[in-house]
């Protein structure tokens, strides 16, 4: 009963943060960081965070469709076709198509991931130091060359994040490194202020200044449009499934996801409708279905690298890793991989959340739209307060506030100069992992040993392919981040 | 813009005003939330509150080598009568060989738990003859030295120990606890590992990929020697050494090992308060009550394995014994050997004056 209560709380909270422009799973999870100490039972936290992820994915479609501003990144592609539909009085149809497609792909990919995840964990035993080292090289290459059209700036941002992530202690000598004598930095710059300052704060400011448009649902039309939206999802199921496949695949690659999966799925839908009479991009439901297919699928598969290797598959997974670490569940370790209760909690909470959120989002669609119509300045204060609160739990001292301020300024500068903040964050987050992987590799092997490892060779070839495609063949010219 | 600034200030105000009411006692932990010592402190503080009758707030002040938190207690926070420092074994190693501000002998000790460390190896690997592959780290140094001691045999000199390290040892840097466990379980990459008793039981005991090698033993308060570990009969390091080599361990390398091992393990988890604090006696009494409460201790043992508390004056005696073990030659040998292995250890002249 306690688990069910916490699941319902997570679903409700996730749905609401999903409805709030720019909030979504990442900000919603950051906000609960300061309350994590109240979770005596670690599996309750697994249930709560999973429910938030699932329900926020459904909720964030609303912003794009009815406000013409992006939700938590994921809805940016949805709004291209979703909002023109709303203007035509088809908001409920667009939302219904988005929800049903996202939900169906969430179910398919969720089952594939969470039902079989305990079996995938056996892979880890064959994934040694060489494989991990080359897998990280492949991931970094994808982040730089695929996540943004500005790959040179993406590379600089990645290096910047990597350098910032290096501040702290030298793992080789255990001596302070690049701390400039500031003891506070001795254990490195903490993840929460960086996530809050670099990623969330600039979006908050943008949303505050963004002009949202208000759409109201027509009571008489809601029921028929909801049914029509479901019919659309079935009619254009291959677009949705293709989007799901793209999202599912991209979620597996550490560090890229979110916007990339949605935009990529959207661009493929555009490509598939070149000869269609009704052009996608001007308010066609196929555009909504194409990108929403990737939404939940990507979220489900991003759990795979996070749980198996302790490498976050998406930015929100970074927060989940930190939260679960707090209650003693260190993802990517033998203890968690052998913990059947953990996998049970994950599977059941994911599936139950999906089952619960579907009727909720349909039954309360009218009220959900009303929530999105609340002026953003009303959300601004509590969201900012929760970001500050969560970012200052490290020591609670004035240095925490200083660090958050520095991160906020850095985030604004990166956004203004169009340096990929996601690349920066991935460089920061994986910095320690890359360094430790390098140290382990050089401590145990010679470079030539890679040539006798088939999996390592495959990852290096994939990295080269990703770099080539990103630099010379990626003509979509979509700025994913 | 003006509105934004006002919004930020209001948000800041909301944050500060929502801070929880300050607890009666504050326990400083020099590691991140979720770390071993943080989890241990949360369990102990939860049980101690029942016997203390006051609330305890845990504050994490992490930093490189877990030194900044303890330094901050020493330089600043200890002046509060109700602020308690929770140190762990790594702080003991740093006290001997790193530049730190803190000094155990300047506080009132409250209580400590002499937890020990268990070492295991891959079943098909002979650690006495093969090249050992073990994960490096400050807290790992006493274990690495124990491996070399067991390989080297009686009367091992510092030069011989260095030769063994150079030719028969791979000390792999950059491994977290999770990496270490996975690499050991995978087999081949690491062939020796170490854990606390509770963690060893959880991850390795009874598994086909692991065989217990030795326990670091427990400290005898009467003699200052390493005693048998009640959790691991006949497996304490001196017992394993004698079984292998037929004589008790001794010599300059053994003494250097014993020094760093004791400063790590005897004070594996220890609590300190300002010297002369009016709260010292009350805290010690609460600890004694907690140590006598089977319900409280059952919860703590679940996390740590069954090890006794050393409380109050007994802890002062233990500290005196440890101080006697800091002999000039022993400390010089220890520093010199750790430097040889790549650790930036320093010789602290003030410890041997």
**Within A147-272, where are the H helices?**
151-166, 191-194, 201-209, 219-235, 237-252, 259-272
List the 69-88 stretch of B: residues with Cβ below 8 A of A.
71-72
Alpha carbon B22 to its chain's center: 29
Instruction: Decide: B194 and B216 in contact? Cβ < 8 Å.
Output: no
Specify the higher pLDDT residue, A217 or A237.
Answer: A237
C-alpha span between B291 and A307 (Å, rounded): 38
How far does Cα A314 stand from its chain's mean position? 4
3-state secondary structure of A377: helix
User: Cα–Cα distance between A225 and B188 in angstroms, integer?
Assistant: 61
User: Chain B residue with minimal CA distance to A404?
Assistant: B12
A382 touches chain B (CB under 8 A): yes
In angstroms, what CA-CA distances link A241 with A65, A272, A476, B41? 21, 13, 21, 49
Which 3-state string (H, E, C) describes B70-97?
A: HHHHHHCHHHCCCEEEEEEHHHHHHHHH
Rounded Cα gap, residues A78 and B7, in angstroms: 30
Any CB–CB contact under 8 A between A35 and chain B?
A: no
Angle between helical axes of A91-110 and A365-372 (0-180°, round to 10): 110
Residue of B nearest to A377 (CA): B7
A383 Cα to chain B: minimum distance (Å) = 8
Nearest to A396 among B11, B59, B177 (CB): B59
A334, A389, A439 ranked by CB distance to B173: nearest: A439
Strands, E assignment, B191-305: 192-196, 211-215, 218-219, 226-227, 269-274
Residues B117 and B194: beta-carbon distance below 8 Å: yes
Q: Which of B65, B178, B203 sits opposite A169 (nearest CB)?
A: B65
DSSP single-letter state for residue B310: E
The number of CA neighbours under 13 Å toward the Cβ of B217 is: 22
Tell me the mean pLDDT in the region A437-463. Answer: 92
Residue A74's pLDDT is 54
B157 contacts B253 by C-beta, under 8 angstroms? yes
**Mean predicted confidence (pLDDT) in B173-194:** 86
Contact B182 A377 (CB under 8 A): no
Chain A, nearest residue to B338 by Cα = A173
Predicted local confidence at residue A363, as pLDDT: 83
| Banded model confidence at residue B230, pLDDT cuts 50, 70, 90 | confident
From A57-71, A134-148, B15-29, B46-60, the region with the lowest mean pLDDT: B15-29
- From the list B4, B65, B189, the residue facing A208 with the nearest CB is B4
- The answer to whether A77 touches A268, Cβ cutoff 8 Å, is no
B116: closest CA of chain A, how far (Å): 21
- Whether the full predicted model's pTM is greater than 0.90, yes or no, is no
| Contact criterion met (CB < 8 Å) for B178 and A333 | yes
Q: Does A310 touch chain B (CB under 8 A)?
A: yes
Asked if A409 is an interface residue toward chain B (Cβ–Cβ < 8 A), one would say: no
Tokens of B69: 């938190």
A208 in reach of chain B (CB within 8 A) = yes
Q: What is the ipTM of this complex?
A: 0.74
**pLDDT, tens digit (0-9, with 9 covering 90-100), for A200-216:** 888 788 777 766 666 66
Looking at residue B236, what DSSP letter applies? B
Whether B65 and A172 have beta carbons less than 8 Å apart is answered as: no
Q: Give the lowest-confidence range in A11-15, B177-181, B188-192, B272-276.
A: B177-181
Q: Which two tokens stand for residue B298?
A: 């059952």
Helical residues (DSSP H) of B18-140, grouped into ranges: 36-52, 67-75, 89-97
The average confidence (pLDDT) of chain B is: 87
B-chain residue closest to A438, CA distance: B174
CA-CA distance, A186 to B332, in Å (whole number)?
Answer: 27
Q: Inform me whether the pLDDT recorded for B21 exceeds 50.
A: no
Contact (Cβ atoms closer than 8 angstroms) between residue A291 and residue A77:
yes
Q: How many angstroms separate the CA atoms of A71 and A69, rounded?
A: 7
Interface of A with B in 359-378 (CB under 8 A): 377
Cβ neighbours of residue A223 closer than 8 Å, sequence gap 6 or more: none
Residue B336, CA distances (Å) to A175, A278, B97, B158 in order: 17, 78, 10, 9
**What's the CA gap between B180 and B203, in Å, rounded?**
11
The neighbouring-strand residues paired with B132 are B169
- Under the banding of pLDDT at 50, 70 and 90, the label for residue B17 is very low
Distance between CA atoms of A343 and A159, rounded to whole angstroms? 35
* pLDDT tens figures, A275-333: 655 677 777 888 889 888 888 888 889 899 888 888 887 778 888 888 888 787 888 87
* Contact assessment for residue B317 and residue B221, using Cβ atoms and an 8 Å cutoff: yes
- Give the relative orientation of helices A365-372 and A340-363 as an angle to the nearest 10 degrees: 90
Nearest-CB residue to B343 (from A174, A334, A388): A174
Average pLDDT over residues B289-307: 87
Q: CA of A18: how far to CAs of A81, A206, A266, A350, in Å?
A: 19, 17, 20, 16
Q: E strands along A377-426, which residues?
A: none
d(CA A243, CA A147): 17
Query: Are A436 and B176 inside 8 Å of each other by CB?
Result: yes
Query: Which residues from chain B sit within 8 angstroms of residue A334, using beta carbons?
Result: 178, 181-182, 185, 203
Closest residue to B174, CB basis, from A171, A325, A333 = A171
Closest CA to B32 of A181, A432, A178: A432
The tens digit of pLDDT for each residue in B122-131 reads 999 999 999 9
Binary contact (B39, A436; C-beta < 8 A): no
The Cα A181–Cα A185 span in angstroms is: 8
Residue A133 DSSP SS3 = helix
Pick from B10, B170, B343: CB nearest A443: B170
What pLDDT score does A214 carry?
66
pLDDT at A474: 65
Other Cβ atoms within 10 Å of A355 Cβ, number: 13
Residue with tokens 């030069």: B159
Q: How far is CA B140 from CA A400, A475, B173, B338, in A?
A: 31, 52, 11, 11
CA distance A133 to A130: 5
B49 backbone dihedrals φ, ψ, rounded to 5°: -55, -40
- Is residue B158 within 8 Å of B252, Cβ to Cβ? yes
Residue A279 CB partners (closer than 8 Å, separation 6+): A273
**Average pLDDT of span A476-480:** 48
CA–CA min distance B203, chain A (Å): 7
Task: Give the distance from residue A204's alpha carbon to the nearest chain B alpha carbon, in angstroms.
Answer: 11
Q: Do B67 and A388 make contact, defined as CB atoms within 8 angstroms?
A: no
Determine whether the interchain pair B34/A385 forms a contact, defined as Cβ–Cβ distance below 8 Å.
Answer: no
């Amino acid at each position: 009963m306690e688990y069910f209560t916490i699941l319902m709380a997570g679903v409700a909270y996730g749905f609401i943060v999903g409805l709030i422009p720019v909030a979504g799973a990442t900000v919603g999870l950051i906000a609960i960081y300061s309350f994590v100490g109240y979770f005596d039972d670690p599996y309750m936290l697994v249930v709560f965070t999973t429910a938030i992820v699932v329900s926020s994915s459904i909720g964030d479609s609303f912003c794009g469709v009815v406000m013409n501003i992006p939700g938590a990144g994921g809805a940016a592609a949805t709004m291209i076709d979703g909002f023109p539909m709303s203007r035509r009085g088809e908001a409920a149809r667009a939302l219904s198509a988005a929800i049903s497609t996202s939900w169906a792909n969430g179910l398919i990919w969720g089952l594939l991931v969470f039902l079989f995840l305990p079996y995938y964990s056996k892979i880890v035993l064959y994934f040694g130091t060489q494989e991990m080292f080359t897998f990280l090289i492949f991931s970094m290459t994808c982040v730089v060359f695929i996540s943004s059209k500005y790959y040179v700036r993406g590379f600089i941002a990645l290096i910047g994040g990597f350098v910032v992530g290096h501040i702290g202690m030298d793992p080789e000598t255990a001596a302070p490194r690049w701390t400039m004598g500031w003891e506070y930095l001795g254990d490195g710059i903490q993840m929460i202020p960086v996530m809050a300052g670099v990623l969330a704060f600039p979006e908050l400011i943008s949303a505050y200044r963004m002009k949202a448009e208000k759409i109201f649902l027509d009571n008489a039309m809601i029921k028929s449009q909801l049914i029509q939206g479901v019919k659309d999802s079935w009619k254009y199921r291959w677009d949705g499934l293709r989007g799901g496949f793209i999202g599912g695949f991209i979620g597996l690659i550490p560090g890229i996801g979110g916007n990339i999966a949605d935009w990529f799925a959207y661009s493929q839908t555009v490509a598939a409708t070149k000869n269609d009479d009704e052009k996608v991009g001007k308010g066609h439901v196929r555009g909504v279905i194409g990108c929403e297919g990737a939404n939940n699928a990507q979220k489900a598969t991003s759990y795979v690298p996070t749980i198996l290797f302790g490498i976050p598959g998406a930015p929100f997974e970074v927060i989940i890793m930190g939260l679960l670490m707090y209650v003693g569940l260190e993802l990517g370790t033998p203890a968690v991989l052998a913990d059947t209760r953990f996998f049970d909690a994950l599977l059941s909470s994911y599936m139950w959340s999906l089952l619960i959120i579907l009727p909720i989002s349909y039954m309360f669609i009218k009220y959900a739209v009303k929530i999105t119509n609340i002026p953003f300045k009303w959300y601004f204060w509590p969201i900012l307060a929760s970001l500050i609160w969560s970012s200052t739990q490290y020591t609670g001292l004035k240095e925490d506030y200083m660090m958050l301020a520095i991160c906020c300024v850095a985030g604004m500068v990166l956004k203004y100069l169009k340096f990929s903040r996601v690349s920066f964050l991935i460089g920061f987050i994986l910095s320690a992992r890359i360094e430790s992987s390098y140290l382990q590799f050089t401590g145990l092997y010679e470079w030539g040993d890679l040539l006798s490892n088939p999996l390592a060779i495959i990852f290096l070839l994939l990295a080269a392919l990703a770099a080539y495609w990103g630099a010379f063949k990626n003509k979509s010219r979509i700025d994913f981040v | 813009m003006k509105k934004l600034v006002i919004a930020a200030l209001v948000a800041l105000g909301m944050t500060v005003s929502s801070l929880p009411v300050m607890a009666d006692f504050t326990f400083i932990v020099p590691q991140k939330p979720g770390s071993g010592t943080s989890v241990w402190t949360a369990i102990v503080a939860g049980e101690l509150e029942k016997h203390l009758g006051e609330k305890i707030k845990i504050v994490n002040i992490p930093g490189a080598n877990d030194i900044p938190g303890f330094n901050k207690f020493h330089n600043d926070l200890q002046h509060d009568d109700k602020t308690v420092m929770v140190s762990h074994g790594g702080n003991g190693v740093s006290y001997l060989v790193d530049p730190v501000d803190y000094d155990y002998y300047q506080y009132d000790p409250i209580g400590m738990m002499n937890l020990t460390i268990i070492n295991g190896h891959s079943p098909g690997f002979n650690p006495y003859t093969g090249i050992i592959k073990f994960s490096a780290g400050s807290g790992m140094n006493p274990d690495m030295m124990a491996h070399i001691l067991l390989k080297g045999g009686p009367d091992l000199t510092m030069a011989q120990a260095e030769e063994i390290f150079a030719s028969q040892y791979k000390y792999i840097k950059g491994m977290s606890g999770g990496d270490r466990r996975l690499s050991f379980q995978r087999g081949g990459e690491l062939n020796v590992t170490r854990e606390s008793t509770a963690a060893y039981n959880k991850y390795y005991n009874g598994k086909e990929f692991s065989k217990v090698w030795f326990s670091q033993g427990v400290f005898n308060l009467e003699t200052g020697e390493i005693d048998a570990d009640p959790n691991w009969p006949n497996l304490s390091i001196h017992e394993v050494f004698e079984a292998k080599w037929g004589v008790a361990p001794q010599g300059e390398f053994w003494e250097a090992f014993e020094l760093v091992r004791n400063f790590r393990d005897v004070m594996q988890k220890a609590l300190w308060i300002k010297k002369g604090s009016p709260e010292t006696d009350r805290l010690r009494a609460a600890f004694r009550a907690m140590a006598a409460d089977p319900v409280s201790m059952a919860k703590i043992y679940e996390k740590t394995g069954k090890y006794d508390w050393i409380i109050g004056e007994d802890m002062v005696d233990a500290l005196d014994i440890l101080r006697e073990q800091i002999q000039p030659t022993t400390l010089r040998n220890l520093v010199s050997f750790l430097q040889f292995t790549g650790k930036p250890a320093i010789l602290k002249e003030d410890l041997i004056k």
